[in-house]
Amino acid sequence: MADDRTFNAWAYKPLTKMQLTLREWTEDCVELDITHCGICGSDVHTMDSGWGPTEYPCVVGHEIVGVVKKVGKNVTKVKVGDRAGVGAQCNSCRECKNCLEGSENLCMKGIVGTYNARWENGDKTYGGYADRWRGDYRFVFKVPDNMSSAIACTFFCAGVTTYAPLKRCNVNSSSVVGVMGLGGLGHYGVKWAKAMGAKVIGMSHNDKKREIALELGCDEYLNTSDKEAFGAYRRQMTHILCTGTGRDFDWVTYLSLIVVNGHFINISIPEWNFPEINPFVFFSTQVFISGSAIGSPAEIEDMLEFASVHDVEPWIQTYKMDDVVKAIEDFRAGKPRFRIVLEN
């Protein structure tokens, strides 16, 4: 039987509905009929070539959930009829030291992104603003039975991007976690840290999000534009999760909030560089500064189980897939509270 590779997608640029071609089928492949796809900030950066050149036409979307339509002979993780998801990474070399040690998200030969990249055979990778997706089974994950598909899709990028570093840095009931930026990533950070037992302090640059921070579950709130307020939190936080900040960010101010041997975890990737840091700041604070890249397949599996057990759910707004142009306009305008999900 001939392989039907044609699929329908909203591709950029501009964002237009068109027909494109799925990757060539192999026995390592899983094919999904897409039901839901979350909108991520990475989508907009890529559409705009904000992080570097984008190869157009580009189908973005890497918070994908769908129903398994077809599996290759080598696939054992999922079966036809299962609900399954895909995140920001769709392949790795599986041979380098990092991959062999379970850090495929840091593949030394470079990860294959779910969009704006190429499969090993040269075919383009396409994301989830579409009706079908096809790719390697090792980066496809079964959705827990007690989790809706609309909720589940956002776990595959925003969820694991915030869960993995908090887990690695041992956030627990003894932790005090400051979450910088209460948006699509930050609200997830609050949810995870609370589920891990921590005291959570929401942080934003004005008072507009104070009430919503408390509604999300924050124990306290810090207006980061109020320099006097910083005094009350000096050396009080064991962790800061930075999901976003403005160009006025400075290291000394924020590192002053963290206890000795605490953690500043950055998962924000703005289109501008963080300021330089004086080496003496390291000596005077003894704080670990780290970044985090999405999450490994093992961390994604662990996250899904944790979310299922602890009933962690993001706040989402749904739009029809055919209303994606309006959804992106609203996203750019900062309207979502806090993740937008497209539905087929």
Q: What is the pTM of this model?
A: 0.96
The verdict on whether omega for the bond into residue 57 sits within 30 degrees of 0, i.e. cis, is: yes
pLDDT for residue 2: 64
Q: How confident is the model at residue 90 (pLDDT cuts 50, 70, 90)?
A: very high
pLDDT at 74 over 80: yes
Q: Is 16 exposed, middle or buried (0-12, 13-18, 19+ CB in 10 A)?
A: exposed
- Token readout for 47 is 């559409």
- Average pLDDT of the residues in 285-310: 96
Lowest mean pLDDT among 105-109, 125-129, 140-144, 278-282: 278-282
pLDDT for residue 281: 85
Q: All domains of the chain, ordered by start, with CATH?
A: 6-157+314-343 (3.90.180.10), 160-291 (3.40.50.720)
Q: How confident is the model at residue 227 (pLDDT cuts 50, 70, 90)?
A: confident
pLDDT at 115 over 60: yes
pLDDT in tens, 35-50: 999 999 999 999 999 9
pLDDT at 171 over 90: yes
pLDDT for residue 254: 93
Which pairs from 77-82 meet CB under 8 Å and 24+ separation?
77/137, 77/138, 77/140, 77/141, 77/142, 78/30, 78/137, 78/140, 78/142, 82/142, 82/143
The residue type of 59 is V
pLDDT for residue 279: 87
pLDDT for residue 270: 85
- Token readout for 329 is 């306009």
pLDDT for residue 285: 85
| Beta strands 83-86 and 64-71, pairing class | antiparallel
Compute how many other C-beta atoms are within 10 angstroms of the C-beta atom of residue 145: 8
